[in-house]
Amino acid sequence: MSDTDTNERARALVKSFYDGGARGEITSFSDSLAEHFELFVPAYLPWGGTFGKQEYVDLLPRVAAVLDFTRLSYLSLTAEACHVVALIEIGVQGTDKSIVISEHWDVADDKAVRLLVAYFDPKALLDQMAAHPVA
């Protein structure tokens, strides 16, 4: 398989996560996660920390309760050497505001093995969560 094929497969795998979120099927991606999957999220968020596969899947409905995947757009979706960077703009539920998130995915053997998330200016998200806490 060529590097181009590998990159495109990794890119398609990551895109399938966001597509599932837009359909309201945010946890449908779980079969695409490696058993040793790791998630890293900034600690200032209620769902911040380091998590394994099942913890990530369990966390996804909380994330979807505050981020509106139907209002997601890609600023960039780049794949190289099994590393995919998704720079996305996504709506904040219950508002007309959106935030920018950079998600860095590592893919091996057609499975996501790691996700590192960085939020840019998350004030709109934090304000909405303070006004409407998510359990």
Say which CATH number the domain at 121 has: 3.10.450.50
pTM of the complete model? 0.86
Helix/strand/coil for 71: strand
Where residue 1 falls among pLDDT bands split at 50, 70, 90?
A: low
Q: Mapped to the 3 state alphabet, what secondary structure does 6-44 carry?
A: HHHHHHHHHHHHHHHHHCCCHHHHHHHEEEEEEEEECCC
Q: Give CA–CA dist 10/134, Å, rounded.
A: 32
Domain extent, residue 118, equals 3-131
Helix/strand/coil for 48: coil
**Amino acid, res. 115:** L
Q: How many domains does the chain have?
A: 1
pLDDT digits (tens, 9 = 90+) for 32-64: 999 999 999 998 888 889 999 999 999 999 888
Helix/strand/coil for 135: coil
Q: 79, 80, 103, 76: which is closest to 11 by C-alpha?
A: 79
Residue 5 in tokens? 């094929």
